[in-house]
A and B are shown apart, each in its own frame.
Chain A
Amino acid sequence: MRINSGVMVDNMMRNLQDNMKKLDRLNQQLSSGKKFSDPSQNPIGAAESMEIGSLISSHDQYLDNIGEAKDWMKSTESALKNSSKILQRSREQAIYGANGSLSEDDRKQIATEIGELRKELINVSNSKLGERYLFSGQMTNTKTFDDTGTFQGDEKAINREIGPGTSMQININGKEVFEDAIQTLKDLEDDLKNSNTDQIQDRIGELDTALSVTTENRAKIGAKINRLDMTESKLEEEKIQSEELLSKNEDVDIAETITDLKMQESVYRASLASGARVMQPTLVDFLQ
């Protein structure tokens, strides 16, 4: 091909333009910190980023859900602990009250304490998390037991999603745990008032049953909290992995890009320098 100054100028301009474009691209990457800003620069990468981004926000949400579930269960656990204490104390008093050497007045005094303990048990059964009753089933706006010890909630499960497609019941059946116990304390109070020592023995058996129901439920809640802890740390781990993946997918490797930029810059300088040298002289410059 016949090369003349026009060809050389055109080529130089095009190469300069190319080099500028590459410099601009690298500069964009460095200033934004991202490998690409539009899907057309990397369609698969863009879809991947959207997918991982959505996954990370899901993880965040499930971690929130787990946090809320744990709050609920920890409140439940502490209510059950109080309930155990009340029942324990009642059982001690019942055994004391069953003692034949006690006077009727003594028993009446014990009966008064049992009455107070029963009120406290009703209070415990009406425990709330925020504005919500823990033991009213799904009727969370309704007081669980009224003052007479009548159950007003339902026995339905409250389920929470703690991971994609995984849910867990977070509440326990308030009727099962409290109803009989409250009734037993009522009966015990009456029996103590009337000094029915034989029946007091029966009440002790009933209190044992109530205690074991409470303990069982505490164990159940404890196991579930353990499971939530495990799910939580697994989710946190997955979240970190996803974040790493996202970063790998879209974040610029600064060291590499700066090296590329330096290299591109020298290419650009070289093309400018060579252009300036080559464009200038023609035969005219050498003829005197």
Chain B
Amino acid sequence: MPEGAGQVGTGVEIEEINRIKDQFVEGQIWEKKQSQNYWQRRYDGIHRVENIFNEPTDDNLSAAFDNFWQSLQDLSNNPEDTAVRATVKERANTLVDAFHSIEEQLTDYKRSLNGDVKTTVDEINSLGTRISDLNEQIAHIKGTGKNPNDLMDSRDKLIEDLNKKVNVRTRQDDRGYINISIGGMSFVSGDNVNKLKTEKVSDAPNEDIIKFAELDRKADIKNGELAGLLDLRGVYNSSTGQSEGIIPDYKNKLDDMANTFANKFNDVHQNGFDFNGDSGVEFFLSDTDTNGDGTLDGSDITADSLIVNDTIKNNVKKIAAGSEANVGNGENAVQLADVIKKEQLNFDDGQANLMDKYESVISSLGVKGQRANQMVSNQDTLVEQLENKRQSISGVSLDEEMANMIKYQQAYSASAKLISNANRMLDSLMSILR
């Protein structure tokens, strides 16, 4: 119905159409939508990371470690056999591939999340612009003393959408403007928008930061889908020089595993003797100077840069199976196998056995996912209850409306009856006088 509608029915003038709405419930729904979308995004992301690690199935990093371990055990049984040595080399390559594959998928996913961050910022800006346009129209119409209900409904819908994206606070002023702030800084103020922008960080690829475009100040993103994206993708902390977030965290764990394992394995390998009785070479190398110190050594090994030494790739007799310079000695192969399943290795966060360490990495990921999923269902329940409440207040009940209609219809009939009776009485009276 158009605002300030003219004549409806006969003989009735509509003075005002009011929105039946509880603004408090509305505000609560908005707030809950922020958390709901934050946790949903986070859960989706963790689930994706779980799929990348692909545990517990038969084709993943732990299977690659297991197979490598078995080939080393076989080598200890048959140190003289070049076919067994070739198997060790192939299994080592598979292990390296498994590290590379996880690392690449994490990097790809991070890149796509950074793209999502940009898109979400665009969407937020677009919502802000539309809200500010509506603010202007609403204030104008209110100025004429009318209620622009349709426009206010549209604006509420846009604000709800904005709440899904990011943590916002809303405040209505006397003129009918709804002013919006993000992290304490003004985003929509009346008919004006302070747009957000993304900016590349030179030290951290794919970790663009979000700023208020005009002020050139960092936006404080704490909730909503956008915060979920940032938590997953990682945010560069310039004071520590570290990226903080789920993907950087699991990339670090993977790098730590690759580095600690490869260096310990190299130590043991170099203590052993190869087929020809020469001391072992480094088994694993790094193909890039990842720490940028100008030299290529064990400290450069990451999940991405890990490779099998070409010397070993080209000549499997270089694998140091022996603890003594005798071809029949396979005892160093057992020591090498022990690096995988038995030795305590010095990881960044303390000593642990490699397999136990990896299990704890996977289960910590699982716990994070489980918690996010739990939070999603909690928030869903809360939003459900609030939406029910909203529906209960604003929703139309056909029964109610029909009952009311019948009530007024009957009242109308009754008054019509009254008029017709009065008419007849008058008729009778008149006929007497005739």
Partner of A39 from the list B337, B355, B365, B400 (CB cut-off 8 Å) is B365
Is B387 engaged at the interface, CB distance under 8 Å to the other chain? yes
Q: Could you say which residues of chain B place their CB within 8 Å of the CB of A39?
A: 50, 55-56, 362-363, 365-366, 369
Residues of chain A from 136 to 184 with CB closer than 8 A to chain B in the complex: 136-141, 154, 156, 158-161, 164-165, 167
Pair B329/A44 contact, Cβ less than 8 Å = no
* Distance of A34 from chain B, by nearest CB (Å): 9
Q: Could you say which residues of chain B place their CB within 8 Å of the CB of A62?
A: 73
Is B77 engaged at the interface, CB distance under 8 Å to the other chain? yes
Partner of B363 from the list A5, A6, A43, A131 (CB cut-off 8 Å) is A43
Q: Could you say which residues of chain B place their CB within 8 Å of the CB of A3?
A: 392, 397
Pair B367/A43 contact, Cβ less than 8 Å = yes
Is B80 engaged at the interface, CB distance under 8 Å to the other chain? yes
Q: Could you say which residues of chain A place their CB within 8 Å of the CB of B364?
A: 43
Pair B328/A137 contact, Cβ less than 8 Å = yes
Pair A14/B384 contact, Cβ less than 8 Å = yes
Known A5-B397, A57-B70, A282-B398; judge A50-B328 contact (CB<8 A): no
Pair A64/B74 contact, Cβ less than 8 Å = yes
* Distance of B154 from chain A, by nearest CB (Å): 19
Q: Could you say which residues of chain B place their CB within 8 Å of the CB of A14?
A: 384
* Distance of B127 from chain A, by nearest CB (Å): 25
Known A138-B327, A138-B329, A139-B326; judge A44-B363 contact (CB<8 A): yes
Is A58 engaged at the interface, CB distance under 8 Å to the other chain? yes
Q: When chains A and B are docked, how far (Å) is the Cα of A6 from the Cα of B47?
A: 34
Q: When chains A and B are docked, how far (Å) is the Cα of A182 from the Cα of B395?
A: 107
Residues of chain B from 339 to 393 with CB closer than 8 A to chain A in the complex: 341-342, 355-356, 358-360, 362-370, 372-373, 384, 387-389, 391-393
Q: Could you say which residues of chain B place their CB within 8 Å of the CB of A165?
A: 342
Is B406 engaged at the interface, CB distance under 8 Å to the other chain? yes
Is A49 engaged at the interface, CB distance under 8 Å to the other chain? yes
Is A273 engaged at the interface, CB distance under 8 Å to the other chain? no
Residues of chain A from 108 to 140 with CB closer than 8 A to chain B in the complex: 131-132, 136-140
Is B12 engaged at the interface, CB distance under 8 Å to the other chain? no
Is A54 engaged at the interface, CB distance under 8 Å to the other chain? yes
* Distance of A50 from chain B, by nearest CB (Å): 5
Is B322 engaged at the interface, CB distance under 8 Å to the other chain? yes
Q: Could you say which residues of chain B place their CB within 8 Å of the CB of A5?
A: 395-399
* Distance of A49 from chain B, by nearest CB (Å): 4
* Nearest CB in chain B to that of A249: its residue: B56
Q: Could you say which residues of chain B place their CB within 8 Å of the CB of A137?
A: 326, 328
* Nearest CB in chain B to that of A158: its residue: B328
* Distance of B317 from chain A, by nearest CB (Å): 12
Interface of A is mostly: helix
Q: Could you say which residues of chain B place their CB within 8 Å of the CB of A4?
A: 391-392, 395-400
Known A140-B328, A283-B398, A283-B399; judge A2-B393 contact (CB<8 A): yes
Partner of B402 from the list A41, A136, A283 (CB cut-off 8 Å) is A283
Q: Could you say which residues of chain A place their CB within 8 Å of the CB of B368?
A: 40
Q: Could you say which residues of chain B place their CB within 8 Å of the CB of A61?
A: 69-70, 73-74
Could you give, for residues 252-288 of chain A, a 1 whenever the CB lies within 8 Å of some chain B CB and a 0 otherwise?
Answer: 0000000000000000000000000000001110010
Q: When chains A and B are docked, how far (Å) is the Cα of A9 from the Cα of B83?
A: 69
Q: Could you say which residues of chain B place their CB within 8 Å of the CB of A164?
A: 341-342
Q: When chains A and B are docked, how far (Å) is the Cα of A159 from the Cα of B323?
A: 11
Q: Could you say which residues of chain A place their CB within 8 Å of the CB of B399?
A: 4-5, 282-283
Pair B56/A50 contact, Cβ less than 8 Å = yes
Q: When chains A and B are docked, how far (Å) is the Cα of A38 from the Cα of B331?
A: 38
* Distance of A248 from chain B, by nearest CB (Å): 15
Partner of B366 from the list A46, A60, A139, A287 (CB cut-off 8 Å) is A46
* Distance of A121 from chain B, by nearest CB (Å): 22
* Nearest CB in chain B to that of A3: its residue: B392
Is A42 engaged at the interface, CB distance under 8 Å to the other chain? yes
Could you give, for residues 311-330 of chain B, a 1 whenever the CB lies within 8 Å of some chain A CB and a 0 otherwise?
Answer: 00000000000101011111
Is A198 engaged at the interface, CB distance under 8 Å to the other chain? no
* Distance of B208 from chain A, by nearest CB (Å): 28
Pair A284/B370 contact, Cβ less than 8 Å = no
Q: Could you say which residues of chain B place their CB within 8 Å of the CB of A47?
A: 359-360, 362-363, 366
Is B76 engaged at the interface, CB distance under 8 Å to the other chain? yes
Partner of B328 from the list A1, A60, A141 (CB cut-off 8 Å) is A141
* Distance of B143 from chain A, by nearest CB (Å): 33
Pair A156/B363 contact, Cβ less than 8 Å = no
Pair B327/A140 contact, Cβ less than 8 Å = yes
Q: Could you say which residues of chain B place their CB within 8 Å of the CB of A40?
A: 43, 46-47, 50, 365-370, 372-373
| Extra inter-chain contacts (12) besides given A1-B389, A2-B397, CB under 8 Å | A2-B393, A4-B395, A4-B396, A39-B362, A40-B46, A54-B341, A57-B69, A61-B70, A156-B329, A282-B398, A282-B399, A283-B403
Sample (30) of A-B pairs whose CB atoms are under 8 Å apart: A1-B392, A4-B391, A4-B395, A4-B396, A4-B397, A4-B400, A5-B395, A5-B398, A7-B391, A7-B395, A10-B391, A38-B47, A38-B51, A39-B363, A39-B366, A40-B366, A40-B372, A40-B373, A44-B363, A51-B356, A54-B66, A57-B70, A65-B76, A68-B78, A138-B327, A138-B328, A140-B326, A140-B327, A160-B76, A282-B398
> Could you tell me which B residues sit within 8 Å of A by CB distance?
43, 46-47, 50-51, 55-56, 62, 66, 69-70, 73-74, 76-78, 80-81, 322, 324, 326-331, 334, 337, 341-342, 355-356, 358-360, 362-370, 372-373, 384, 387-389, 391-393, 395-400, 402-403, 406
Q: Which 7 A/B pairs are nearest by Cβ-Cβ distance?
A: A40-B369, A39-B366, A43-B366, A140-B328, A6-B395, A138-B326, A4-B397
